[in-house]
Structure 1
Amino acid sequence: MKKTMSLLAVGALSISLLAGCGGGEESSGGDQVKIEFFHHKREGMETIDKLIAKFEEENPNIDVEQSSPPEPSTVLRTRVSKSDIPDIIGVGGDVTYSDLANAGVFTDVTEDKSLENIQPAYVQMLKDVSGLEEVFAIPYVANAVGVIYNKAIFAELGLEVPKTWDEFISVAEKVKEAGKTPFFHTYKDAWTTLPAFNALAANTQGDDFYSELNKGNILAEERYKEAAEKLLQLSEYGHKNQQGVGYNDGNTAFANGESAMYLQGIWALPEIKKANPDIELGVFPFPATNNPDETKVISGVDLILGVAASSKHPEEAKKFVEFLMEEENAKQYIDEQNAFSAIQGITQDDPTVDDLKASFESGSLTDFPDHYIPTGVMPEKTLQSLVINKDVDEFLTKLQADWEKVQDRK
């Protein structure tokens, strides 16, 4: 979710410029090939290690090096600017994908047969966010934002899963009245403001927000007001020192029963379970409004698989991508990471996310709003200031001004 400098700022890139640069190492003996898989899913490294080991056993002549550094988007953009491009790139279906696709970093997969097995909604999301009709990566994993809740605490207090915003606030009030903390907020890490804001904004910004954006009309100052006000309201139901606690500590605290609910994406589930394997968890759709029939679950492409146009070993890189997409391997990834597959027919069977399944089956899904906010705006920093300063007008004015400033540079 984090945003960094624009690729445009480091110079115009093209396939002709990139051809022959970067990629995996040349074979010293002619047989062994080394390729690099660079991705942003640090919490998934253990699972990917297992899959790499399995792939290398089946393909002893190919070595796969996994890279997943902190601040992956910043690192990747810097490497691209130096023409040091990994063979396979796994990022989200967001502005980073858009910048890379528009810069010619990826191999075009529009006609690739692998796309035929991908949920069409996720393919369309890549087109929408990039503004391109061509597709330059395979959507592999989808995530979702909901409200993670402690089933034991809900049972203890006799609480039911809320369907509307008013019910949601009522639940928070009841938890507070019982002497417990409704939400555990981790505002020390600015990006952790985004999951809740995305859910609120996507359900309140209006259906024409993106079409107006495509016309050059930025409506953030007007349309994000309700989301900002509601995020601020939720911040009032947190614990002390919300600005002093980060994501990792938040996962542990919630796992230890320090709050009834946690406003995070499903990517946090493995870390919570790791901290407390016995915890009973559930995830319900974020009730952003009082119209439950219109509530949409925020689900975006969490991990794409893109082969670099500059890779020295494109066949080996593609072979690894195809391996990851095999049903058994794709199923292993989503099972261990509590994610949803972008591949049709591969289902998430963990009862933890049962409450989200109806939305996936009915197609009541929408993409992350921050995927469409351009690099350089950094809404997470502005949201972090919002929950500290509690000034909605200041937040809206700054976000609008930052967005317009970046837009004017294009």
Structure 2
Amino acid sequence: MTLRMKTKMTTVTALTALLLSGTAFADTTLSFLVDNNADSVAAAEALATAYSEKHPDVTVEVEQRPGGGEGDNIVKTRLATGEMTDVFLYNSGSLLQALKPETSLLDLSDLSSQGKIADGFKSVVSADGKVYGVPYGTTMAGGIFYNKKIYSEIGLTPPKTWAEFMANNEKVKAAGKVAVAQTYRDTWTSQLFVLADYYNLQAQVPNFAADYTANKAKYATTPAAVKGFERLQEVHDKGLLNEDFGAGTYDDGLRMVATGEAAHYPMLSFAIGALKQNYPDEMADVGFFAQPGDDAANNGLTVWMPPAVYIPKTTANVEEAKKFADFVGSVDGCKAIMAVNTVQGPPLIDGCDLPADVPAAITDMLPYFKEGKTAPALEFLSPIKGPALEQITVEVGSGMRPAAEAAALYDEDVRKQAKQLGIPSW
């Protein structure tokens, strides 16, 4: 009896130890790489928490990388060496094509969430008829954040032409305040005056994207395309910038426009998430307007698709990674992101509606969408975007290179990228 009892207890003890050790029912850990912007990290952590609540046997570990060119190189290197995380966040549009998704990423066309994702988004994360990503957030726009308190104090109204914008800047400068915050330590932030000007470029040259892709149109030889570089140069040459623009960071720019240290900060509307995280009490003081062009009657907004979540072919957790990506692309995933990041523009997932209490900056954006005065950014109309643009725009915005020369240099950067991608006619 005693011997039998000992044997039975030993078996139970061994089974208990096996279960507690996790050997019998092993949990899964998914690694998730995102850029280190506060809004991206907050969204990633919210998704990780929400997913683990639905799937207690799965832990999503969030890793961070820098943004801009440094971050691009990290993503490309980790994909090339097989050291990429199970899922990762990266741009949609032309920058995705540089990753060669056909050879480096898993096809996500069969995810159930794809049925509710807008076709316009799927088109910018596709190659060879396959969909490789799901949206990470809402649409966003490129334009100019402005401090509403400064505008009220000085008696300004949001401009509809570039001349009006520059007049506002001069009045801000005369009042002893910084007119335009620039933050070139984070080099990627230097591109906005060029990239957000695309609505104005397309309005003047409707076929520019197609001709640019076909090697028939250049920045340097298209006056409407050079203007973005000229506008970047003008705000520097007129002495409108913060003194530390060369050392300023993205976070500095957000602080300046939120707290009234600066009247304007050219930026993508994804910054609304970081503003909510870091300056919740000042959200009502921050507005947004489209980068103005020359025609007040055709004042419109350049629109970006959000980044996407992708899965590398090297993941060892294919099925679980797909389930997580499917969650990110679902209504629940969309709502989890909006709960912490506010919104950056209209959502792309059917059933994920805007909340009633959107920030003032989003309210300012909605009329452009309602009136149909929007255009996709060039990187969503063409697969070609030169990787050196952010370095070139730092030089222009710092007074080191004139606009015309910069446009020609960028054309050469584009030529190299087009040849590397194997684009016909290059």
Instruction: Name the structure 2 match of 1:203.
Output: 200
Structure 2 vs 1, CA of residues 244 and 305 (structure 1 numbering), >3 Å: closer, same or farther? closer
Q: Which among 145, 169, 173 is matched to residue 172 of structure 1?
A: 169
- Write the mapping of 1:11-410 to structure 2, written as runs, cut at 5 A: 29-40=24-35, 42-43=37-38, 44-70=40-66, 71-127=70-126, 132-141=128-137, 142-204=139-201, 206-223=205-222, 224-235=225-236, 236=238, 237-279=240-282, 280-338=284-342, 339-340=344-345, 341-349=347-355, 350-352=358-360, 353-369=362-378, 372=382, 374=384, 377-387=387-397, 388-409=399-420, 410=422
Q: What whole-Å deviation, never above 9, does each CA across 1:141-198 have from its counterpart, x for those lacking one?
A: 2322221111111111121122222222222222223222221111233211112221
Is the contact between residue 32 and residue 63 of structure 2 (CA under 8 Å) also seen in structure 1? yes
Structure 2 vs 1, CA of residues 336 and 396 (structure 1 numbering), >3 Å: closer, same or farther? same
Greater shift, 338-347 or 160-169, is seen at 338-347
Is the contact between residue 34 and residue 63 of structure 2 (CA under 8 Å) also seen in structure 1? yes
Is the contact between residue 218 and residue 400 of structure 1 (CA under 8 Å) also seen in structure 2? no
Return the offset for 1:362. Answer: 4.4
Cα distance between partner residues in 2 of 1:272 and 1:140: 18
Aligned residues with identical type, % of pairs: 22
Return the offset for 1:199. Answer: 0.9
Is the contact between residue 140 and residue 343 of structure 1 (CA under 8 Å) also seen in structure 2? no
Question: Residue 163 of structure 1 aligns to which amino acid in structure 2?
Answer: K
Is the contact between residue 385 and residue 414 of structure 2 (CA under 8 Å) also seen in structure 1? no
Could you list the runs of 5+ residues in structure 2 that have no partner in the other structure? 1-21
Instruction: Name the structure 1 match of 2:7.
Output: none
Structure 2 vs 1, CA of residues 140 and 249 (structure 1 numbering), >3 Å: closer, same or farther? closer
Structure 2 vs 1, CA of residues 179 and 92 (structure 1 numbering), >3 Å: closer, same or farther? same
Which of structures 1 and 2 has the bigger CA Rg?
2
Structure 2 vs 1, CA of residues 268 and 254 (structure 1 numbering), >3 Å: closer, same or farther? same
Cα distance between partner residues in 2 of 1:376 and 1:159: 37
Q: What whole-Å deviation, never above 9, does each CA across 1:210-256 have from its counterpart, x for those lacking one?
A: 21133233512123211111222233322223223222222223333
Greater shift, 315-324 or 357-366, is seen at 357-366
Is the contact between residue 37 and residue 87 of structure 1 (CA under 8 Å) also seen in structure 2? yes
Structure 2 vs 1, CA of residues 329 and 405 (structure 1 numbering), >3 Å: closer, same or farther? closer
Return the offset for 1:125. Answer: 3.1
Q: What whole-Å deviation, never above 9, does each CA across 1:35-89 have from its counterpart, x for those lacking one?
A: 2222236322133223312321321221212122224322221111112232222
Cα distance between partner residues in 2 of 1:261 and 1:401: 31
Is the contact between residue 149 and residue 260 of structure 1 (CA under 8 Å) also seen in structure 2? yes
Work out the number of aligned pairs and report it: 381
Question: Residue 287 of structure 2 aligns to which amino acid in structure 1?
Answer: V
Return the offset for 1:28. Answer: 5.5
Could you list the runs of 5+ residues in structure 1 that have no partner in the other structure? 1-26
Cα distance between partner residues in 2 of 1:109 and 1:330: 17
Is the contact between residue 46 and residue 336 of structure 2 (CA under 8 Å) also seen in structure 1? no
Q: What whole-Å deviation, never above 9, does each CA across 1:313-334 have from its counterpart, x for those lacking one?
A: 2221122223233434412312
Structure 2 vs 1, CA of residues 401 and 345 (structure 1 numbering), >3 Å: closer, same or farther? same
Q: Normalization by structure 1: what TM-score?
A: 0.83
Is the contact between residue 148 and residue 281 of structure 1 (CA under 8 Å) also seen in structure 2? no
Report the secondary structure of 2:59's partner residue.
Answer: strand
Q: Normalization by structure 2: what TM-score?
A: 0.80
